[in-house]
């Protein structure tokens, strides 16, 4: 069982021992540290914080602990209940709140949960803010409010509808074109909050919706990471229903993947590529994705005359780089779309609306749209960390081994070759080393991954 403390929040498995897992004590501790930081950062004795959660089984328990810890600090809490990460991000500025917390472990299985922490813009905290909260938590330096100064909880369940309204008002979203296309779509929402956000959005756009695992019970019917090997039921349903496409999201709805009409994956990496192609075709500009994302976004951006920049992995790093580069769209290759006209956060609702408008204009099958983009293939692997592994030493040795190539060491080690690349880094969300490779065929990507893993094992003495 695991507890991961990072600048982006606190993530762990439910149950077990305090400080080793995400127990009730740990939830209270880190909510209190965040609340203490919010009071200092805002300069207010009674700041406001928005809280929402995905549908996982531990969500209600963790939310009650978190909200009442904030109340104990004199903080006013806006309870969105079942929500999505991008919905909470949008709610923070609309509520004129001082921060926000999303209770979700994203793509992690049901035994996990986490506190994702936002600033007053509804954006993830930067490294300095996160480090300050970890310091407060380590010192247990909280001053709770006296009885007359306790905060209060107000419930507001209107924000998913407000979120949908805001997406449909985006300048490039064309509801009429999508209605005219008469799409039929199967949605796999892994029994979380995608089920109460994606189908209503699609229905507002005139799409015929076939719901698969859209009841937000928190009983995930399969591994919730939206990868091909987990989506056999969706593939079968898309084919049997003769649907135009399939849509799947992770439990907190910030990762988006499409499936072609033949039951084949469009590819998580190509979610951003397709949406960027559409946006850049209407409003030329720059793009950003992270170091582990496909070169296809670079190719599409340059085709439209824009500049592509790679950022370190992590949403806050991508957002910071997008602002610096004045990017008009960006995100991460795991299916995360960041569209600043909406907000600076990964948002599957925005991605769905942009993609369907693009598809309606193209008047082609999803498989044909996918075939129109540069063909790259990725292999995504991982090595589980053990206390004996010297990860920093391994990464340094790999950088040294390839020092005559194009090496980037700002976030792990990325080595770019003419025809392919590999990227090694410690995960922010799991106790693993991630190994990503990309090449112009799946075989080449897999072979590069095998070679890289073998080299790591030799260095580590495994």
**How many angstroms separate the CA atoms of 320 and 334, rounded?**
18
Contact present, 399 and 409 (Cβ < 8 Å): yes
What residues contact residue 118 under an 8 Å CB cut-off, 6+ apart?
50, 88, 89, 92, 99, 100, 101, 102, 124, 125
Contact 381, 453 (CB under 8 A): yes
Q: Which residue has tokens 């080690």?
A: 413
Is residue 223 a contact partner of residue 231, using CB atoms and an 8 Å limit?
Answer: no
Q: How many Å is the Cα radius of gyration of the chain?
A: 22
Give 100's Cβ-side CA count (13 Å radius).
29
Contact 52, 88 (CB under 8 A): yes
- Note whether 335 and 255 are within 8 A (CB): yes
Read off the tokens for 420.
């392919």
Q: What is the pLDDT of residues 57-89, one digit of tens each?
A: 999 999 999 999 999 999 999 999 999 999 999
Q: Which of 32, 42, 58, 106 is catalytic?
A: 106
Q: Do domains 3-157 and 162-371 have the same CATH topology?
A: yes
List, edge to edge, every strand of the sheet that includes 245-249. Answer: 208-212, 184-188, 245-249, 256-259
d(CA 60, CA 53): 8
- Which homologous superfamily does the CATH classification assign to the domain defined by 3-157? Alpha-D-Glucose-1,6-Bisphosphate, subunit A, domain 3 (3.40.120.10)
Residue 150's Cβ-side half-sphere holds a number of Cα atoms within 13 Å equal to: 9
Q: Could you give the CA distance from residue 213 to residue 159 in angstroms, rounded to a whole number?
A: 22
Backbone angles phi, psi at 230, to 5 degrees: -100, 0
Name the residue with tokens 């990227």. Answer: 423
d(CA 341, CA 361): 21
Per-residue model confidence (pLDDT) at position 128: 93
CA distance 244 to 233: 16
Strands 336-338 and 327-332: antiparallel
Strand partners, 78: 50, 154
| CATH number for the segment(s) 377-460 | 3.30.310.50
CA distance to 32, 162, 387, per residue, from 255 (Å): 29, 20, 31
Cα dist from 406 to 58, 350, 415, 423, whole Å:
45, 35, 6, 12
Exposed/middle/buried for 386, CB within 10 Å: 0-12, 13-18, 19+? exposed
**Nearest partner of 139 among 46, 56, 36, 2, judged by Cα:** 36
Tens of pLDDT along the chain (462 residues) come to 578 887 668 999 999 999 999 999 999 999 999 999 999 999 999 999 999 999 999 999 999 999 999 999 999 999 999 999 999 999 999 999 999 999 999 999 999 999 999 999 999 999 899 999 999 999 988 999 999 999 999 999 999 999 999 999 999 999 999 999 999 999 999 999 999 999 999 999 999 999 999 999 999 999 999 888 999 999 999 999 999 999 999 999 999 999 999 999 999 899 999 999 999 999 999 999 999 999 999 999 999 999 999 999 989 999 999 999 999 999 998 899 999 999 999 999 999 999 999 999 999 999 999 999 999 999 989 988 787 888 889 999 999 999 999 999 999 999 999 999 999 998 877 778 899 999 999 999 999 999 999 999 999 887
The residues spanned by each domain of the chain are 3-157, 162-371, 377-460
The pLDDT score that the predictor gives to residue 7 is 66
The residues with which 381 forms a beta bridge, in sequence order, are: 435
Contact by Cβ (8 Å): 186, 237: yes
Task: Give just the sign of the alpha carbon dihedral 431, 432, 436, 442.
Answer: negative
Q: Which CATH class is domain 162-371?
A: alpha beta
141 in catalytic set: no
Secondary element (H or E) of residue 159: helix 159-168
Q: What is this structure's pTM? A: 0.93
């Amino acid at each position: 069982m695991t507890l991961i403390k990072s600048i982006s929040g606190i993530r762990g498995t439910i149950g077990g021992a305090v400080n080793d897992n995400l127990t009730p004590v740990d939830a209270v501790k880190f909510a209190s540290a965040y609340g203490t930081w919010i009071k200092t950062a805002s300069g207010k004795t009674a700041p406001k914080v928005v809280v929402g959660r995905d549908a996982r089984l531990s969500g209600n328990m963790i939310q009650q602990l978190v909200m009442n810890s904030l109340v104990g600090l004199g903080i006013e809490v806006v309870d969105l209940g079942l929500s999505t990460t991008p919905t909470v991000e949008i709610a923070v500025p609309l509520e004129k709140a001082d921060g926000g917390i999303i209770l979700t472990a994203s793509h992690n299985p049901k035994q996990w949960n986490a506190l994702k922490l936002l600033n007053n813009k509804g954006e993830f905290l930067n490294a300095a803010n996160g480090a300050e909260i970890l310091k407060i938590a380590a010192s247990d330096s909280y001053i709770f409010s006296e009885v007359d100064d306790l905060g209060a909880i107000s419930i507001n369940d209107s924000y998913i509808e407000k979120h949908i309204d805001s997406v449909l008002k985006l300048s490039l979203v064309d509801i009429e074109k999508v209605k005219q296309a008469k799409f039929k779509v199967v949605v796999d929402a892994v029994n979380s909050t995608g089920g109460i956000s994606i189908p209503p959005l699609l229905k507002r756009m005139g799409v015929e919706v076939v719901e698969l695992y859209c009841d937000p019970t928190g009983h995930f019917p399969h591994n919730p990471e939206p990868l091909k090997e987990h989506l056999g039921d969706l593939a079968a349903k898309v084919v049997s229903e003769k649907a135009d496409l399939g849509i799947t999201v992770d439990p907190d709805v910030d990762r988006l993947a499409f499936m072609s009409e033949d039951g084949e994956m469009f590819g998580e990496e190509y979610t951003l590529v397709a949406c960027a192609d559409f946006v850049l075709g209407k409003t030329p500009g720059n793009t950003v994705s992270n170091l582990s994302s496909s070169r296809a976004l670079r190719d599409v951006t340059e085709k439209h005359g824009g500049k592509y920049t790679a950022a370190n992995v992590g949403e806050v790093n991508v957002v910071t780089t997008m602002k610096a580069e004045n990017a008009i769209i960006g995100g991460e290759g795991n299916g995360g779309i960041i569209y600043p006209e909406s907000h600076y956060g990964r948002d599957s609702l925005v991605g769905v609306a942009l993609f369907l408008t693009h598809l309606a204009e193209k008047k082609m099958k999803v498989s044909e749209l996918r075939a129109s983009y540069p063909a790259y293939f990725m292999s995504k692997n991982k090595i589980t960390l053990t206390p004996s592994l010297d990860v920093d030493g391994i990464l340094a040795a790999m950088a040294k081994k390839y020092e005559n190539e194009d090496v980037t060491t700002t976030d792990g080690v990325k080595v770019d070759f003419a025809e392919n690349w590999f990227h090694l880094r410690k995960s922010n969300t799991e106790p693993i080393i991630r190994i990503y490779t990309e090449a112009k065929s799946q075989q080449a990507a897999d072979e590069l991954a095998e070679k890289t893993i073998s080299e790591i094992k030799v260095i580590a003495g495994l």
